[in-house]
């Protein structure tokens, strides 16, 4: 784009270098910056997050969970830059999940393949189909579109771990940004999901017994700045909404957060700050009244799931336990993925008889039909 | 006479204009009289393909929160927002930040 030669007003100058025209206003502190100073501040903040939390060690091999979307594309670009600039000495690998969503994931994977060349990183693609023998398109045609995010979320988490294990890598970084973290905190508060509230703010998570840790170097990075960085640097990213309906509750929480941000931009950092400092009180009182004293200890460990149901204790399973079916780490006898897939298998036979051939790209077809109707 | 402008929809926002990302438009107003508010109104009437999609772009009579607005590649917050006075040749970029990453 051709820059127009206009006289720069004094108030329009960058507040850091005082030399160039400011092009953006940081939502975090309302500072007006020029492109160069913005790049510098943006990258340095992420560097400080990485160093401050000791996310990497020299010689580490790190997998970047890459979807081809803005967050993971910027993450790959920034980590490559920082690794070279500050000599982290880590080896970066792109790890992508192919959920099997025609007209969505196949296009975004094409972006990741371009990124592979642009950033000169190895790329590993793990697909639901080869891992679970189910593609998302098949799952949706069997289980319906409404629960698509539930299935996809559970399966993706495991697929990332398995992909990393396949590569012999024990650290996966994801592009979750400050907006995502704040959104999750908000959702957990709104749902009363206090169990998840505590862990949703940690920058580095690892289930005990699992060799794979996950971290979010963008935990304190605003979505707006990620989009601006990608835009100004002309990064190649994919931006189409998933063909399947996003989880309605998350969508509403996101809108609420965006509306709040437009009035008070710092609220995203403030929500994360609150989340980090919330300390859950003990749930002693209720159980003490109901149960015998010698049972208190066990009752306190009872897990209340987000849907309000209570986990039934099966032989006192602990974190670090293995799924009986697939061997994946789980706190239950059978992992969530196997549980969901088991339910699907029961319906698969029925599906075949019905002769459903339009499984592939079912969502894309629906979209196309919708457009035709108008 | 009208003001020649360019409107861009990025970050997946092109869904509201049949997948077209770039639109060269002539704003039917005199230079000096038109503000970004007029551009937004013009877009809702002339650029968005299906009126049903207007709420994807507009919320409470302004651009929906979560859509990043750039005027000639500069954050609209630094250019007076909706009250920015449109000049011939201006490029308005609307980028959705709401899509997954």
Percent of chain B with pLDDT over 90: 84
Of B10, B66, B72, the CB nearest to A258: B66
Of A4, A67, A224, the CB nearest to B101: A67
pLDDT, tens digit (0-9, with 9 covering 90-100), for A81-137: 999 999 999 999 999 999 999 988 888 999 999 999 999 999 999 999 999 999 999
Whether the full predicted model's pTM is greater than 0.95, yes or no, is no
> CA A358 to CA A138: how far, in whole Å?
9
Q: Report chain B residues whose CB lies below 8 A from the CB of A21.
A: 74
pLDDT at A296: 46
Q: How many CB pairs under 8 A join A and B?
A: 81
Nearest CA in chain A to B91: A1
Nearest CA in chain A to B50: A374
Nearest CA in chain A to B99: A241
What does the DSSP assignment read for A339-360? HHHHHHHHHHHHHHHTT--TTT
A258 touches chain B (CB under 8 A): yes
Q: Report chain A residues whose CB lies below 8 A from the CB of B74.
A: 21-24
Nearest CA in chain A to B15: A240
> CA A153 to CA A322: how far, in whole Å?
19
> CA B97 to CA B101: how far, in whole Å?
9
pLDDT at A245: 66
pLDDT at A368: 63
Q: Do B74 and A23 touch (CB under 8 A)?
A: yes
B85 touches chain A (CB under 8 A): no
Q: Do A70 and B99 touch (CB under 8 A)?
A: yes
* Residue A104 to chain B, least CA–CA distance (Å): 12
> What's the CATH class of domain A55-277+301-308?
alpha beta
Please tell me whether residue A21 adopts helix, strand or coil conformation.
Answer: strand
Domain chopping of chain A, boundaries: 55-277+301-308, 342-374
Q: Report chain A residues whose CB lies below 8 A from the CB of B95.
A: 227, 231
**pLDDT per residue rounded down to tens, chain A (374 residues):** 455 555 667 778 999 999 999 999 999 999 999 999 999 999 999 999 999 999 999 999 999 999 999 999 999 999 999 999 999 999 999 999 999 999 888 889 999 999 999 999 999 999 999 999 999 999 998 888 888 888 888 899 889 999 999 999 999 999 999 999 999 999 999 999 888 888 888 999 887 777 899 999 999 999 999 999 999 999 999 887 777 866 778 888 888 999 999 999 999 999 999 999 988 887 665 554 554 555 444 445 555 555 555 555 444 445 568 888 888 888 888 888 999 998 888 877 555 555 454 555 666 666 666 666 54
Q: Considering only CA atoms, which of A144, A131, A364, A336 is closest in space to residue A240? A: A364
Q: Do B77 and A25 touch (CB under 8 A)?
A: yes
> CA A98 to CA A163: how far, in whole Å?
11
Q: Fold for B3-96, please state it.
A: Ubiquitin-like (UB roll) (3.10.20)
pLDDT at A233: 97
B61 touches chain A (CB under 8 A): no
* Residue A256 to chain B, least CA–CA distance (Å): 10
Q: Do B72 and A25 touch (CB under 8 A)?
A: no
> CA A10 to CA A19: how far, in whole Å?
10
pLDDT, tens digit (0-9, with 9 covering 90-100), for B11-45: 889 999 999 999 999 999 999 999 999 999 999 99
A239 touches chain B (CB under 8 A): yes
Of B64, B73, B100, the CB nearest to A242: B100
> CA A155 to CA A336: how far, in whole Å?
9
Of B64, B75, B96, the CB nearest to A25: B75
Residue of A27, A67, A76, A227 to mutate, testing the B interface (most B Cβ within 10 Å of its Cβ): A227
Collect all residues with Cβ–Cβ distance below 8 Å to A66 and sequence separation of at least 6.
A72, A73, A75, A76, A94, A95, A96, A112, A115, A123
The beta-strand segments (E) located in A88-160 are 91-98, 123-127
> CA A177 to CA A181: how far, in whole Å?
6
Q: Binding site for ATP, residues of A?
A: 65-67, 71, 97, 175, 180
Q: Do A23 and B78 touch (CB under 8 A)?
A: yes
* Residue A136 to chain B, least CA–CA distance (Å): 17
> CA A265 to CA A222: how far, in whole Å?
10
* Residue A334 to chain B, least CA–CA distance (Å): 30
Nearest CA in chain A to B75: A24
CA angle, residues B29, B32, B33, in degrees to nearest 5: 50
pLDDT at A194: 85
Q: Report chain A residues whose CB lies below 8 A from the CB of B10.
A: 231, 239
B65 touches chain A (CB under 8 A): yes
Q: Please say whether the beta carbons of A186 and A200 come within 8 A.
A: no
CA distances from residue A108 to A40, A128, A186 in whole angstroms, order as listed? 28, 16, 29
pLDDT at A93: 97
């Amino acid at each position: 784009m051709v820059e127009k030669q206009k006289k720069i007003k004094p108030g329009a100058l960058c507040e850091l270098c005082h030399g160039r025209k400011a092009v953006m206003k940081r939502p975090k502190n309302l500072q007006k910056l020029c492109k160069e100073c913005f790049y510098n501040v943006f990258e340095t903040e992420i560097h400080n997050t990485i160093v401050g939390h000791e996310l990497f060690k020299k010689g580490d091999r790190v997998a970047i969970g890459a979807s081809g979307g803005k967050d993971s594309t910027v993450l790959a670009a920034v980590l490559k830059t920082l690794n070279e600039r500050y000599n982290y000495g880590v080896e970066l690998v792109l790890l992508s999940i192919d959920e099997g969503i025609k007209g969505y994931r196949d296009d975004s994977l094409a972006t990741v393949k371009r990124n592979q060349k642009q950033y000169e990183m190895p790329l590993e693609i793990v697909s639901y189909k080869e891992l679970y023998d189910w593609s998302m398109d098949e799952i949706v045609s069997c289980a319906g579109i409404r629960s698509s995010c539930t299935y996809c979320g559970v399966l993706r988490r495991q697929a990332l771990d398995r992909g990393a294990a396949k590569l012999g890598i024990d650290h996966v970084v994801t592009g979750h940004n400050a907006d995502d973290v704040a959104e999750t905190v908000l959702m957990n508060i709104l749902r009363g999901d206090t169990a998840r509230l505590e862990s949703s703010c940690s920058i580095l998570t690892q289930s005990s017994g699992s060799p794979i840790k996950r971290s979010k170097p963008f935990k304190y990075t605003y979505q707006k700045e990620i989009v601006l960085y990608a835009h100004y640097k002309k990064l190649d990213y994919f931006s189409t909404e998933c063909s399947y309906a996003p989880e309605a509750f998350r969508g509403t929480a996101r809108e609420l957060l965006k509306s709040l941000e437009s009035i008070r931009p710092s609220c995203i950092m403030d929500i994360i700050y609150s989340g980090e400092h919330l300390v859950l009180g003990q749930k002693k009182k209720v159980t003490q009244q109901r149960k015998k004293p010698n049972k208190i200890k066990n009752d306190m460990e009872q897990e209340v799931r987000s849907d309000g149901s209570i986990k039934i204790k099966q032989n006192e399973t602990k974190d670090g336990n293995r799924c009986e079916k697939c061997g994946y780490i789980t706190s239950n006898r059978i992992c969530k993925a196997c549980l969901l897939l088991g339910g699907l298998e029961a319906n698969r036979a029925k599906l075949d008889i019905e002769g459903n051939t339009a499984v592939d790209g079912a969502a894309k077809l629906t979209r196309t039909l919708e457009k035709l109707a108008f | 006479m009208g003001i020649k402008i360019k409107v861009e929809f990025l970050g997946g926002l092109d869904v509201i204009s049949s997948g077209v990302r770039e639109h060269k438009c002539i704003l039917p107003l005199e230079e000096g009289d038109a503000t970004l508010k007029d551009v937004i109104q013009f877009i809702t009437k002339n650029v968005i393909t299906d009126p049903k999609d207007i709420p994807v772009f507009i919320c409470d009579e302004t651009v929906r929160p979560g859509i990043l607005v750039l005027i000639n590649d500069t954050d609209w917050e630094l250019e007076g927002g909706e009250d920015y006075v449109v000049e011939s040749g201006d490029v308005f970029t609307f980028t959705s930040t709401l899509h997954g990453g």
